[in-house]
Structure formats: C-alpha cells, structure tokens
Amino acid sequence: MRNNYCSSSSFFFLAVVSLLVFTLNGPAGNSSWSPLTWNAGFLGSDQVPEQKQLPQVVDEIVRRYNKLEKLESGLARARSFIRQAALIRNSTSTHQDPDYVPCGPIYRNANAFHRSYLEMEKLFKIYVYEEGELPLFHDGPCKDIYSSEGLLFRDLEFYNIYRTKDYDKAMVFFLPFGVTELVQYLYVPGDYKLPDIGRTVVDYINTISIKYPFWNRSLGADHFMLACHDWGPQTSKFVPNLFNKSIRVLCNANTSEGFNPSKDVTLPGLYLRTGKLRGLLGGLSPSHRSILAFFAGGEHGYIRSLLFQHWKNSTDQDIQVFEYLPRGVSYKSMIRKSKFCLCPSGYEVGSPRIVESIYAGCVPVIIKDGYVPPFSDVLNWKTFSVKVEVKEIPNLKKILMNISQRQYLRMQRRVKQVQRHFVVNETPKRFDIFHMTVHSIWLRRLNVQIKDFDD
C-alpha cells in the first residue's frame, strides 16, 4: 500500500435537533427516534444486469439486504446504549477505559460521549471508493493552512483503523476527491463558477453510482466528502444530493452557506508548517501571561475590518491587534503569553486560529457569524472559550475584563484538558483529532437509517 500521503501543495445550540445531539446533552423529554429514511428502489427488474441469471441476482439482493439489516440493527443497539448512558447525569464517565476517562464540564455529557466513542471503536467501518487517480483524488496537503484535509486523507486511507475493504460491512462510504487538489489543478483564475471542478465531481458520483448500488440506495446519506479548502461547500453544490443529503466534513462550516449541523461535520482548521505538531503545544502558566488579548493576521472580511477599525492602532496595551507583527516578534511567542486569543472570521469562517490557541493554552475568543465549532455535539465550548458577537467588537475589552480571574483560570485549565482532542499524531491515538473527527461522522451516521426496500 502507498504510504506517501500528503501532497506538496451562539455557542451552538441546535434548533433542528438530531437525536444524537439530544442524547449527548442528556434526557430532554420523550422524543422518539425518528430517522429519515430513503426508500430508493434497488435493482428494479429493468435494472437487472444482463450477464447474470435471475436466481443469482436474487441471491445477491437477499445477501446484501441481510447484511444491511444486520448492520442497521447494530446501529440501533448502539443508539439505545448511548441513550441509556445519557440518562446518567454524571460529569465523569462511568465506563472503564485504559487510556482516558472523559470527565468534567468540557463535555456536554461525558458518559454519553464515552459510550458513543466505545461503540464507534467497536462497530464503525468506512469504505473508501478506490476509483480516482492521484493527484486529484485520495490526497491533500498536510503542510499548509489546509493541513487537516491532507492529514485526514492520510489517516483514513493509510491506517486501517476504521477502513474496511468489504463494502457490505461499511456504515459510511468515503468520496475521496481532494478539493484543494481540484482547485490547484482545475481552477481557471477568475472563473468562480468552477466548471471543471464541478464536472469532475459530477462524473465521479455518476461513476460510483453506476458501478455500485450504495449511492442510489441512500441518495448519498451514508456517504461523506472532505474539504478544508474554503471552496468545499461550493464544490459540493454541483450534486444536489451531495449538498443536501451527504455528510460534508468541512472547515468552512458556515451555516449561511448551507452548513447543516445535524448532518455535516466541522473539521478543525490546522496550520502545520512542517506537517507535524512538534513545538506547537505549550505556553506560559496563567500568572505569566502578560497580554490580555492578542490577534495578528490579514485584513480580510467584514469582521476583521471591524476589529481593525476599533483595535488595530489602539494605544491600549491590553488588546494587541496587528496586521503585521513588528520585526523580531514571533506569533508563537505572542499567543503563548496572552490570556485570550482572538479568533475572528476572515473571508471565511474556518481558520486554524482556534486550534492554535488551544495548543498554546490561550483561551479562544470566537468572533464569527454562523460558525459551528468542531465537535460541538460532544464539547461544551462555553466552558473553555468566549463567544463575542460581531456587534460587540467595540466592547471587547470590557467583556474580557469582566471575566473574573477565577473564571479565567477555570477556562484556561479546561483549554489544556481539551487539547487531547485536537492533537495530531503521526499514528492516530485514541481521542485525538482524527478519532474525534471520525466520531463526528459516526454521530451523523447514527442519525439516519438506510433501507433497501420499500416497506
């Protein structure tokens, strides 16, 4: 197998509640499981492949049907275990674990999360469509601002942690087009309609939907795509069911652009200059953090304009906002000695800053419209980050000064506790960013039930 992956190139409370989100929050009334079902006709008589005899085809349908039944009943059991676990209101998981036992207020429901995680490890299987050639498929960058795209490709395809080669055992199907690569090779400068990228994605879905029965069976609901590139959402629009039904794992998780938290997954942005985590974790102890709040970055997008307008040339030493850092001052040293790190949207909502802050032990201050933070169905972001509304930017200092030292220390401690879920490992380790991202996909898969036949 190839092992040279990586190309060179409101605190979120769900309104439309998918059950799992409800479950991980703990009990809330008696809502019953009401999965969406897609009853796409499977191999109707006019679709029977000619070269096979009818009995063989019937056998195959029955065999596949039985496998799907079995798989769905496994998922149903998992849902019910997770529901039961959610009833135990204990901030410490009651499940055994040799590595880590989730506990504390960083979790919406530590026990439900832990149970769900353990069920995922036991059951979850991902099939990666093999169709598609390098460089446009099966790869992404690991060393630039879209690092999380390449790393997730690598971890999904290279390590057989969740991957299965047997599509009848698969609970989800991965559509391995690499959006960053598509943009690099097929984008014609100035043509924001992305026609060549669109054609490639449409062709790909056509190919796999003719060759395999799985896309038609669910209309894409048990399929997922991946993109950290800003144009991920745009790329998914070329196939209506990909946009509306499939699980889209996106850094650009902008609800105004159709990101749907009950079926889509926020991929944390990462900027790993070397492709590795080395040297990024750290930071001074809270008592040595001399700057109240810090930001440095380009002026793009309306939110940053507003931030710069109010704070860039400010003589106030508490809020340090730069477009360009002064000579000799390093970005890393600044976030390591700041109490709060500002994470405003740029042109797009996704950015590596939240994870950078978490690595540096700096409490993130999220200033974004319509952004769904990563792993929100598991993590209680309120307890380790600050959300500031865009219109409150002028009051930034007042808002941050209003956070008591005690409260700040609690948040900072939790930032360090939550680090484990954002850490990148050379080989994935339990509860790290890879497993947490897969866990988000697992939760979305639990939200649907796939059927082969009309009832």
Ligand X SMILES: *[C@@H]1O[C@H](CO)[C@@H](O)[C@H](O)[C@H]1NC(C)=O
**Inter-residue contact 186 to 3 (CB < 8 Å):** no
Site string for ligand X, 16-35 (x = CB under 6 A): -------------xx-----
CB of 370 to ligand X, least distance (A): 6
40-59 residues in contact with ligand X (CB under 6 A) are 47
CB of 45 to ligand X, least distance (A): 12
**Inter-residue contact 392 to 337 (CB < 8 Å):** no
In angstroms, the CA 328 to CA 437 distance is 36
234 near ligand X, judged by CB under 6 A: no
Tracing tokens 């930001």 back to the chain, one arrives at 295
**Chain residue whose CB lies nearest ligand X:** 240
Which two structure tokens, joined as six digits, stand for 321?
Answer: 């906002």
CB of 167 to ligand X, least distance (A): 12
Torsion of CA 216, 220, 222, 225, to 10 degrees: 140
Q: Residues 25, 92, 164, 425: which binds ligand X (CB under 6 A)?
A: 92
Sheet of 163-164, strand order: 163-164, 126-128, 172-174, 223-227, 247-250, 265-266
254 near ligand X, judged by CB under 6 A: yes
Binding footprint of ligand X, residue count (CB under 6 A): 30
120-179 residues in contact with ligand X (CB under 6 A) are none
390 near ligand X, judged by CB under 6 A: no
Torsion of CA 215, 221, 224, 225, to 10 degrees: 80
293-332 residues in contact with ligand X (CB under 6 A) are 301, 308-309, 312-313
98 near ligand X, judged by CB under 6 A: no
Segment interacting with ligand X (CB under 6 A) among 284-292, 376-384, 398-406, 417-425:
398-406
CB of 144 to ligand X, least distance (A): 20
Residue whose C-alpha is closest to residue 93's, from 107, 76, 78, 77: 107
402 near ligand X, judged by CB under 6 A: yes
Coil, helix or strand at residue 370? coil
In angstroms, the CA 115 to CA 135 distance is 38
Residues that bind ligand X (CB under 6 A): 29-30, 47, 90, 92, 94, 209-210, 213, 216, 237, 240, 243-244, 254, 256-257, 301, 308-309, 312-313, 345, 348-349, 369-370, 398-399, 402
